Amino acid sequence: MAESERQQIPQFIQQNAPPNVPLDQGAIAKQLSLLSQSGSTRAKEYEVFNKMNAAQQHQQYRERVQNFFKFVAQYMNTRGLVLPPFISGLNTPPYDPNGSPFAWLEPGSHMSTVKVADRDVDLFKLWQLVWSGGTSQKARNLFIFMSELTLAQITSENAWFKVVQALDLPQQLSDPHPATASMSTADLLQKIFMTVLGSFEVFYVQKTRSQVRAQQQEVATPPQGGQDDADGDDKKRKSDEDEERDPKKMKMDPSVEPTVMPSPEAQAQSPQRASTVDGDVKPPRTIATRNKIEYVPLKRELDTFGGRDLDAIEREYRARVQARPSRGIDDWGTIDVEGLSFALRSRIASEMSYALVTLTYLSFMRSSTPNRGFPLQTSGELLDDLLDLLEETAFGPGYDGLDVGLGEKMVMPEFPKTDAEARATRTWTNRELINFVHEASSAPFGALAEDASRERPRGPLPPRSEIIRTILDIFRNLSPCEDNNAHLAQNLRFTDLLLRLTVLSPVCAPTHPSGPLSAPRPVSDALTLRDMIDVRREVIQILANMCAAHSLADDSPYAVRVFFDLISSYLVDVDEALSPSNSILSRGESTSSTTVRPPQNADTTLEVLSRIALPDSNRQIFSRCVPQERVQVLFVALVHMLPVIERDFLITFKAAWQVWVEKIVLCLYSLAFLAPPDVKRRIKADRALGFGGIMLRLIKRYVANIHPDYRDLFSPLARRAIETVKVIDDGEDMFVTPAESGGAILGFGMGYGESTIQRIEKGMGMFGGRQEDVTWQVMANAVDEVMFAELDSLARCT
């Protein structure tokens, strides 16, 4: 009670008191104190009531949020996704951040919140803002529904910026994640909404529309009462009997209402909501239905495959392995290597089988020392015996390799002059060989024709192709060891024989220039085209393990060309030379998956090319032996495999795809280094290829548009890309010395001491038309002196 009011009370009592009645001042004081105490008590009760009401409202709000995200989590589980516990508040099923599309979300300080610009964003409040604005159709270009809003209307409303303002967030991110470096706060909110609640919104809108449509149909077609006359009952009974006999004519029981999902907020507020029925409309009459009981006989389910219980076999195998684990190569003791060599030389089927099986077991066993296994360098003539058996099995006894061999006696064929000859001696890609095999096997009696083409030996002997593949398996298992790969790389006969197995005979040129070519044949008559696909894959794997220690100086020119054609066969196909996102989509996989990896065959081939072409001596041999047309074809195919759009660059942030792009750029640098000047000029002038634009986009993305903390990871890749563009832009022969070109540096007199002065370059560089982008977006960042000088040279316009 206010002080002024308290002073007015005695005056009011004195004015309204009856006459001749004395006033008791003590009683008035007691009444005033009681009124003051009651007022303060009432104020305290009101304050406590407000606090309890606020706490109750907050508790109800948290229950609504919890029920809402529990419902969202149940829907996500039906789609095979698990919401993080900091969003749903649930720990079942277990959440795995490694394979989850929600791994990039940063948890907030409270439940159901995420961090955006170092502030907590309530996802339930975000849902209410988007839903109150008319769903996200007004905030994003949702093309799933047939919305009446056009893209211009969606853009003009700037709905996501209104959401940012409502959540009191900054317009730009201060410390962005590398995956969201080029996004604004509105774009990041849109991405968070689409990741967490986008699919649920689509599901909820569809259910809401179906509910409205069902209510409209129920109002438009009220239920009709039954007929009272006997004729109507007979007709209805006959109709019911017909419906029971014909399942296609069965009707839905009208007493059962269609189940429609309620609103998540309404479900959270009132889980059990009673439906109201109009009193004027009578409920429909229920119709008794007949239930047919089906008696299923008891049976014992047998989980067998081909008559074998695989589960029982696996249980027995696990028990045996646990009881007696596999032994390493150190547990074998002394191995009779001479006995294995004699068994291989005997050419007796049983002895050869014993030796090959024993060597197969020894090849994949490893010792206690890392990267050590069965040593070939201390095994005497075992390697020569294996090569003798491989050569005799593949090409016959007494074969010296003069007809299709790769020795110095073999004359290197010239590059074809006409189009028909070029098509006949072209590089057959791995996909083309697979298509030939698929077409041949799909033809009538295709399998019988393939078996008839094999040479049938006399007696129960294994096919020669199986012996070849077994020996290649042994070499593939032995080649990863440190001692063996160097020993195999220095054996000239080993590399020569492996490359000879992959050679395909030139097909006959068609009579018509554009006519179809027949399927090629392997040079070895022991192999079919189906076997050749497996043999080539095994040879590529072996070369990937040993090519780092191999030198092409001792190989013949024809061997070098076969080596290059084998590498090109896995990379130049138009269906294989794809960007990362297109490569993933062509295999039917999702680009958002965290477990998808690059193609295995192409990845292994890039490993071979990047290692074998690393030394300058091997690059010079490739430049002399490989036709320049094939170098250009492989270079163009590798350019097509680079990332182009933003989705490609987001994929390359994964470790496996980052290594994939580094291998491609390293191979491009090696090819640009060994390419002759004519090829470099054609690549630079090819506008359809757009080599300069693709490389500039890659350099900008990995130097400028990336978080500084992650720039060091992609700095070597960007540096190698700049060097590749610089080599193509110079267009010089990298193997011509100054003495050969007539430009020797003088050691005295005129020109002395000018060798360290940078030469003045004239003309327009490859980035000359994009000088502003290079200067302000790339060179303005923290690049070293070498990169700065090369970028300045590429952006010249003099």
Tell me which of 257-271, 448-462, 693-707 is least confident: 257-271
Spatial separation of the C-alpha atoms in residues 552 and 623, rounded to whole Å: 12
Question: What is the structure's pLDDT at 444?
Answer: 81
Question: What is the structure's pLDDT at 344?
Answer: 93
Question: What is the structure's pLDDT at 754?
Answer: 44
**358-409 per-position pLDDT tens digit:** 999 888 887 777 778 888 888 889 999 999 999 999 987 755 543 343 443 3
Question: What is the structure's pLDDT at 58?
Answer: 74
Question: What is the structure's pLDDT at 562?
Answer: 92
More confident residue, 610 or 184: 610
Kindly list the distances between the CA atom of residue 28 and the CA atoms of 10, 35, 361, in Å, as whole numbers in the listed order: 7, 11, 112
Place of tokens 């829907």: 75
Is the distance from CB of 492 to CB of 555 less than 8 angstroms?
Answer: yes
More confident residue, 121 or 688: 688
Is the distance from CB of 680 to CB of 731 less than 8 angstroms?
Answer: yes
Is the distance from CB of 692 to CB of 748 less than 8 angstroms?
Answer: no
Distance of CA 86 to the CA centre of its chain: 26
Question: What is the structure's pLDDT at 86?
Answer: 79
Is the distance from CB of 777 to CB of 704 less than 8 angstroms?
Answer: yes
The percent of the chain in helix, strand and coil, each rounded to the nearest 5, is 55, 0, 40
Kindly list the distances between the CA atom of residue 507 and the CA atoms of 397, 422, 428, 519, 687, in Å, as whole numbers in the listed order: 26, 11, 11, 7, 34
Q: Is the pLDDT of residue 185 over 70?
A: yes
Question: What is the structure's pLDDT at 644?
Answer: 93
HEC profile for 303-335?
CCECCECHHHHHHHHHHHHHHCCCCCHHHHCCC
More confident residue, 643 or 250: 643
Q: Where are the domains of the chain?
A: 1-15+26-77, 104-219
Is the distance from CB of 375 to CB of 483 less than 8 angstroms?
Answer: yes
- Strands of 643-690, DSSP E: none
**301-338 per-position pLDDT tens digit:** 767 777 788 888 888 988 888 887 767 777 777 888 99
Handedness of CA 208, 211, 217, 222 (dihedral sign): negative
* Largest Cα span, the chain: 152
Phi, psi (rounded to 5 degrees) for 85: -60, -30
Closest CA to 405 of 492, 469, 499: 499
DSSP string computed for 84-125: -HHHH----SPP-GGG-TTTTPPB-SSTTEEEETTEEEEHHH
User: Within 10 A of 115 (CB to CB), how many other CB atoms are there?
Assistant: 13
**559-600 per-position pLDDT tens digit:** 999 999 999 999 999 888 999 999 999 988 888 888 899 999
| Angle at the Cα of 66 from the Cα atoms of 176 and 168, rounded to 5 degrees | 40
Average pLDDT, integer, range 136-148: 41
Structure tokens at 570: 């896995």
Structure tokens at 440: 């041949």
Is the distance from CB of 12 to CB of 32 less than 8 angstroms?
Answer: no
Burial environment of residue 32 by CB neighbours within 10 A (0 to 12, 13 to 18, 19 or more): middle
Where does the pLDDT of residue 497 fall: very low under 50, low under 70, confident under 90, or very high at 90 and above? very high
DSSP string computed for 44-82: HHHHHHHHHHHHHHHHHHHHHHHHHHHHHHHHHHHTT--
Is the distance from CB of 722 to CB of 791 less than 8 angstroms?
Answer: yes
Structure tokens at 445: 């009696």
More confident residue, 102 or 721: 721
Spatial separation of the C-alpha atoms in residues 190 and 195, rounded to whole Å: 9
Average pLDDT, integer, range 181-197: 78
User: Within 10 A of 720 (CB to CB), how many other CB atoms are there?
Assistant: 14
Average pLDDT, integer, range 430-435: 92
Element (H, E) at 699: helix 691-703
More confident residue, 241 or 207: 207
Question: What is the structure's pLDDT at 329?
Answer: 75
Spatial separation of the C-alpha atoms in residues 524 and 395, rounded to whole Å: 6
Q: Is the pLDDT of residue 746 over 90?
A: no
Question: What is the structure's pLDDT at 330?
Answer: 74
Spatial separation of the C-alpha atoms in residues 372 and 671, rounded to whole Å: 34
- Check: pTM over 0.85? Answer yes or no: no
Most confident of 1-15, 257-271, 514-528, 683-697: 683-697
Phi, psi (rounded to 5 degrees) for 741: -85, 0
Phi, psi (rounded to 5 degrees) for 21: -115, 115
Where does the pLDDT of residue 742 fall: very low under 50, low under 70, confident under 90, or very high at 90 and above? very low
Handedness of CA 249, 253, 257, 261 (dihedral sign): negative
More confident residue, 448 or 475: 475
| Angle at the Cα of 370 from the Cα atoms of 365 and 376, rounded to 5 degrees | 55
Structure tokens at 488: 């195999």
Question: What is the structure's pLDDT at 98?
Answer: 73
Place of tokens 């791994």: 103
DSSP string computed for 753-765: T-TTSPPPP-SB-
Where does the pLDDT of residue 278 fall: very low under 50, low under 70, confident under 90, or very high at 90 and above? very low
Structure tokens at 783: 């690049």
Most confident of 72-76, 137-141, 230-234, 574-578: 574-578
Average pLDDT, integer, range 1-18: 54
Closest CA to 566 of 541, 585, 590: 541
Closest CA to 724 of 784, 664, 783: 664
DSSP bridge pairs for 506: none
Most confident of 124-128, 259-263, 746-750: 124-128
Q: Is the pLDDT of residue 141 over 80?
A: no
Q: Which residues contact 729 (CB under 8 A, 6 or more apart)?
A: 684, 765, 766, 793, 794
Phi, psi (rounded to 5 degrees) for 507: -85, 160
Phi, psi (rounded to 5 degrees) for 490: -85, -10
Helices (H), 372-501: 382-395, 419-424, 430-442, 446-453, 464-478, 482-489, 492-501
Average pLDDT, integer, range 735-758: 48
Spatial separation of the C-alpha atoms in residues 758 and 786, rounded to whole Å: 12
Average pLDDT, integer, range 449-469: 72
Helices (H), 297-416: 310-323, 337-346, 349-363, 382-395
Buried b (16+ CB within 10 A) or exposed e, 725-756: bbbbbbeebbeeeeeeeeeeeeeeeeeeeeee
N-to-C CA span, the chain: 89
**503-542 per-position pLDDT tens digit:** 988 765 454 555 566 788 888 888 989 999 999 999 999 9
Omega of the bond leading into 18 within 30 degrees of 0 (cis): no
